[in-house]
Structure 1
Amino acid sequence: MFQAVIFDMDGVLIDSEPLWHQAEQQILGGLGVDFSRPPLLQSTGLTTAAVIAHWYQHQPWLLLSPEQVHQQIIDFVASGIASSGEPKTGLLALLAENARRQLKMAVATNSPKLLLDTTLQRLQIRQYFQAHCHLELVSRGKPAPDIYLLAASQLGVAPEQCLVFEDSFAGVTAAKAAGMTVVAIPAAHEWQHSKFAIADYKIRCFTEFDWQQLG
């Protein structure tokens, strides 16, 4: 049924979401952003530029440009991944099983190339992926489907033959818009949220995934 598996990165390959939160709190908070003031933002799955643009529009700061703030956040997260990043539970076993099944694999992330390269190096998993798709390769990030369509194209596989693993609603939306089958892996605090009903499957971690249970 499937010829390829495409993985989101942050929160899927690696538990980097806390690093993003820390970076936003420390860097944007240090510029005076009050995250409790409306309009509030659910930033998981969005591009860093979109998060910065939201807060800059509603709570503009002085001294640093949005581009400078963006680079500071990226550098903060890259440093954290390089020093202490760990693979998500069950990931390495699933990658090995997919390779055994001769499935093509790709990463499709809203993060820039620096963070993708840092993550693959830290986890030592680059060899599993035939395509490495990052934000700098597309004009629109998730929730637009562009990055998933690019991944399928680079793998030489039709979108409907791709299985996607995603942890964010923006990512699930992107993959579904691309015409792919999606396994959602929501964060624990979002597990019960009805928005993930658009996914085809939902698991808590990779150890719950079983190829035999896919129709």
Structure 2
Amino acid sequence: MIKAAIFDMDGLLVDSEPFWQDAQLLVLHDLGVNITRQDTINTTGIRIDQIIKHYYKTQPWQGPNCDEVCDLILDKVIELVGINKPMMPGVLHALNLCKDANLKIALASSSPLRLINATLKALDIEQWFEQRYSAEHLKYGKPHPEVYLNAAEGLNVDPKECIAFEDSFAGLLSAKSAQMKTVIVPEHKVAEKDQWVISDVKLRTLNELSTEDLVR
């Protein structure tokens, strides 16, 4: 029996993935790092510090350290989210269905807590989430399951009694590794890839979520 719903954030609740891509391209290009937009797409769902450490190892630069580069990227993403407030379709519909089903609701994201708090405030959905969990300071980010396991523990719910909502393959692997039921809402450009078959439910938008999806 499902007792809790745990949501990812970037790309699922908020259309922030283009902002992450733009911020990485802007900051890293200024440092002389050769990356493309496709490179930023390929790392969707991966923690930003892990991405930056990879680029520093393969294309080291002079000047700011990795933590400072992460902060520059994060500041830009927060700025863009605050200006645009790009809530994804069906977010309130999904949250209402989870509430009506008497599910506990939490958030588990690879993003730093500073961005989580700023985003929920910008979208005016802070009140929906009993707890918020970030993989920012964990040893491993997604696709490791730790952030989802922490969320389940914090809600005092067995992971097998949780349903996780994701948009990325790294996030999907994280939730499945935590032995949770999963709903995947992939970005439309990659929606037809075979990799999503491991999810329990696949949707085009959260507007398609039904009560049956939460209980079956």
TM-score, length basis structure 2 = 0.94
Query: 4+ residue stretches of structure 1 with deviation over 4 A?
Result: none
Q: Which amino acid is 1:125 matched to?
A: I
Q: Which residue of 2 aligns with 1:163?
A: 163
Aligned Cα root-mean-square deviation (Å):
1.9
Q: Name the CA shift for 1:41/1:55 in 2 (closer, same or farther; >3 Å).
A: farther
Using the alignment, how far apart are the partners of 2:171 and 2:136 within structure 1?
A: 16
Instruction: Give unmatched runs, 5+ long, in structure 2.
Output: none
Structure 2 counterpart SS, 1:82? helix
Using the alignment, how far apart are the partners of 1:48 and 1:211 within structure 2?
A: 34
Instruction: Give unmatched runs, 5+ long, in structure 1.
Output: none
Using the alignment, how far apart are the partners of 1:48 and 1:206 within structure 2?
A: 25
Structure 1 counterpart SS, 2:144? coil
Q: Which amino acid is 2:121 matched to?
A: Q
Q: Which residue of 2 aligns with 1:44?
A: 44
Calculate percent identity across the aligned residue pairs: 37
Conserved 8 A contact 1:4-1:104:
yes
Conserved 8 A contact 2:101-2:211:
no
1:3-14 mapped onto 2 (5 Å cutoff): 3-14=3-14
Residue 41 of structure 1: how far off its partner (Å): 7.6
Using the alignment, how far apart are the partners of 1:73 and 1:183 within structure 2?
A: 29
Does 2:189 correspond to 1:189? yes
Q: Which residue of 2 aligns with 1:174?
A: 174
Residues 54-103 of structure 1: per-residue CA shift (max 9 Å, x gap) = 21111111112111101100111111111212221011122122212221
Conserved 8 A contact 1:16-1:85:
no
Number of equivalent positions: 215
Conserved 8 A contact 1:82-1:122:
yes
Q: Which amino acid is 2:208 matched to?
A: E
TM-score, length basis structure 1 = 0.94
Q: Name the CA shift for 1:73/1:40 in 2 (closer, same or farther; >3 Å).
A: closer
Q: Which residue of 2 aligns with 1:108?
A: 108
Structure 2 counterpart SS, 1:105? strand
Structure 2 counterpart SS, 1:136? coil
Residue 40 of structure 1: how far off its partner (Å): 8.8
